[in-house]
Structure 1
Amino acid sequence: MLSTSHRDLVAAFTATGRNHPYLALTLNSLCNLDCVFCKPRCMPDYGHKDRPLTSADYAAIAAEAGAWQVRKAHCSGGEPTLRADILAVIEGLADGLGPGATIGMTSHGNLRRGLSVEQLQQAGLTYLNVSLHSLDPGRSAAIMGGGDPREARATIDAALALGLRVKVNCVLQRTYIEDAFAVAELARDLPVAVRLIELQNIGPAQALFDTEFISEAEVRDRLQRWFTGAGEVPRTQLGVRSPGRYLRPDGWAGSIGFISNSSCATCSDANRIKITPTGVARPCILHNRDIPLKPHLADGTLGDAFAHLFRSMLDRDTNDAWQGYHYVDYDLRWDRMERPQDAPILPLLPVLSRGTAEPPSCGRRAPGEG
């Protein structure tokens, strides 16, 4: 039960007309693939030197979030399905957020032995994002450092058969642009939302950016035959809250959208509450307002942490340090990333800390897990 002041804070946020926040949970840093623009194993904390949150922790966080009218949680990694307790995590999130909650996951779709889409759906999963960058096994392995796109496609088919909403994430690279177009064409016959994601000049992708970057504008021009006369699909229908437009070419079962944080680098309507594997909440990764949640879990004070998160999101579009805007909603998965320094706009909670200068080049990835 929220206090009167906390209910007033929720009402104030709702009055802004912004999308209500959702939980963006990075469940682990581990991945059994090695995408060229991600390279997870380069991180010094790969595998986690600290204890990650447990399934019980996620259930408690979700129960508090549900009291604040949060009705969506999205799980990513790393590869979240590598967690042995992934079904318990999904179940705890679904129970905590309550009936009608939206529970999603981003995965490369090559599920480990013994885990099925049906088990995930029975635990409470309602939608699945599958990372798929080529349908050709050899070229896919070159991009992703392993895996099999045929297994990913089987995962997509299984999810659709179970009634899950499915999105397909495909990072655009000039060398593999025809592969991306072939992935996008899955939406011709399947009721999926394919998201074409611009390469970003961050992390390992910096080594690729000058030669491999291709903009949304150029891709749209090359796909003009598809988009002429295409109808726009409302984001509410897709369960998507990102600002990109989703178009359904005439006669297609699915849609195509873009995530373009290189050519359109602003996210003033971003609404993710990011939580790292060891429980650090970030209402805005460009601000020095990290909130370690483990002390609040131990002390039963998660309500205080969520109050701070909501105040942070209320204020961030009028933050003078960023000229009144909130730029580039990068997703930092890792717990030991150096954090940009900035004078806090709000009083800090006692447990707030962290913050050094510029993040290192390795470890930031393009967004789009939601």
Structure 2
Amino acid sequence: MTQTLTDSYLRTIDYLRISVTDRCNLRCSYCVPPTPYAHMHHTDILSYEELIRLVRVGISLGIRKIRLTGGEPFARKELIGFIRDLSALDGLEDLAVTTNGTLIADQIQELKDAGLTRINISLDSLKPERFAEITRKDLFGEVKRTIEGSLAAGLAPVKLNTVLLDGVNGDELEDFARLTFEHPIQVRFIEYMPIGKGQGPAHSDLLAPAIIKRLEALGTLTPLIRGAHDGPSTRYKLEGAKGEIGLISPMSNHFCATCNRLRLTADGHLRPCLLSDTKVNLMDALRNGADDETVAALFQHAAGIKGQRHNLAGHAVEDMMCSIGG
């Protein structure tokens, strides 16, 4: 019998984000440090078989939505087969991935056939030269092909995740928003979060109130009703647009009261909150022979220590974004 996983503030936890690797083929300045850093050894990363077992336990506790992240998830070999195995699990209702879109332009239909429900593509500039400057790789054309292929394959909604930074890409806000007039995509503007050891600034003034003011200059901006599988974004639609705008505002408008997720890192730790270094070790339990009941208790413990709200303003997160899974 399926249980319901709740935290101490009676929030229902039905969403698990899984980082399958800490590796990424890009080196976005706000995400990774400027100097070389040690990646996790492959023996220190959960195997696909271990991940499937953890997801089965999660489903038994009420997990219904899975999102695969990284690093860059497609930097890990055989991910499509893993997606196929996940999609076959009874009780899973939504299977999505967040990717930089540089490695999968020729695999979109195969991903959909494997059971992928939705795709989020991280993209911080529509200008190829600026894209190369931010990511340190000249791969804008591959991302463009991935977006076009995802739309053609009918993955819906296709979401673009854009982190806005003063003096970096803030001048492109309107250009991103105008994409929704031309295509049925959701452009999601994400407030910058100063996490880990990247080269990003201490803060950004491009927060939700300023973003909304600039969007309203493009036309009537109508709030939309939340969907069953919506994440933390507040959704809007510009009059006459085919697509939508999403705002994710962890800095200016905490959405902690409605947070419904846990995060599983590639090295087997459950994080109750992205913006906290608190975590629960599942890998040791798995590799020391724990039964499913013991593993389920660790899920329940992680939910139980989930804070009422994050405290990023008063506590720096030490782990790098690329190792947490975003």
**TM (normalized to structure 2)?**
0.85
User: Is the counterpart of residue 326 in structure 1 residue 309 in structure 2?
Assistant: yes
Shift of 1:312: 4.2
Structure-1 separation of matches of 2:62 and 2:16: 11
* Contact 1:27/1:75 (8 A) holds in 2: yes
Counterpart position of 2:215 = 223
Counterpart position of 1:307 = 297
SS of 1:13's partner is: coil
**TM (normalized to structure 1)?**
0.76
SS of 2:310's partner is: coil
Counterpart position of 1:111 = 103
Shift of 1:74: 0.5
Counterpart position of 1:159 = 150
Counterpart position of 1:185 = 178
User: Is the counterpart of residue 33 in structure 1 residue 26 in structure 2?
Assistant: yes
Structure-2 separation of matches of 1:148 and 1:213: 28
**CA deviation vs aligned residue, 1:262-310 (integer Å, no higher than 9, x gap):** 2234523222221111212223463745122352365252333333423
Task: Name the structure where helix makes up a greater proportion of residues.
Answer: 1
Shift of 1:95: 2.1
Q: Equivalent residues in 2 for 1:178-327 (5 A)?
A: 178-204=171-197, 207-209=200-202, 213-226=205-218, 228=220, 230-236=221-227, 239-242=229-232, 244-265=233-254, 267-284=256-273, 286=276, 288-296=278-286, 299-314=289-304, 316=306, 325-327=308-310
User: Is the counterpart of residue 170 in structure 1 residue 162 in structure 2?
Assistant: yes
Cα distance change, pair 200–254 in 1 and its aligned pair in 2 (3 A): same
* Contact 2:81/2:114 (8 A) holds in 1: yes
Structure-2 separation of matches of 1:150 and 1:63: 38
Q: Percent identity?
A: 25
* Contact 1:24/1:73 (8 A) holds in 2: yes
SS of 2:160's partner is: strand
Cα distance change, pair 48–42 in 1 and its aligned pair in 2 (3 A): farther
User: Is the counterpart of residue 127 in structure 1 residue 118 in structure 2?
Assistant: yes
* Contact 2:262/2:303 (8 A) holds in 1: no
Counterpart position of 1:363 = 320
Structure-2 separation of matches of 1:38 and 1:272: 21
Choose the corresponding residue for 1:141, options 127, 132, 139.
132
By relative contact order (CA 8 Å, sep 6+), the higher-ranking structure is: 2
* Contact 1:21/1:272 (8 A) holds in 2: yes
Choose the corresponding residue for 1:52, options 45, 49, 71.
45
Structure-2 separation of matches of 1:364 and 1:263: 20
Q: Which amino acid aligns with 2:110?
A: Q
Structure-1 separation of matches of 2:214 and 2:206: 11
SS of 2:116's partner is: coil
SS of 1:258's partner is: strand
* Contact 2:188/2:246 (8 A) holds in 1: yes
**CA deviation vs aligned residue, 1:7-28 (integer Å, no higher than 9, x gap):** 4xx2x73997734421111111
Structure-2 separation of matches of 1:217 and 1:282: 29
SS of 1:218's partner is: helix
* Contact 2:191/2:251 (8 A) holds in 1: yes
Cα distance change, pair 151–287 in 1 and its aligned pair in 2 (3 A): closer
Unmatched segments (≥5 aa) in structure 2? none
SS of 2:97's partner is: strand
Cα distance change, pair 301–217 in 1 and its aligned pair in 2 (3 A): same
Shift of 1:246: 0.7
Cα distance change, pair 172–193 in 1 and its aligned pair in 2 (3 A): same
Q: Which has the higher mean CA deviation after the structures are superposed, 264-273 or 22-31?
A: 264-273
Counterpart position of 1:345 = none
* Contact 1:267/1:326 (8 A) holds in 2: yes
Cα distance change, pair 148–213 in 1 and its aligned pair in 2 (3 A): farther
Shift of 1:207: 4.6
Q: Which amino acid aligns with 1:295?
A: A
* Contact 1:62/1:92 (8 A) holds in 2: no
Shift of 1:187: 1.5
Q: Equivalent residues in 2 for 1:83-98 (5 A)?
A: 83-96=76-89, 98=90
**CA deviation vs aligned residue, 1:40-75 (integer Å, no higher than 9, x gap):** 675743253643112212221222222222111111
Shift of 1:33: 0.8
Cα distance change, pair 316–79 in 1 and its aligned pair in 2 (3 A): closer
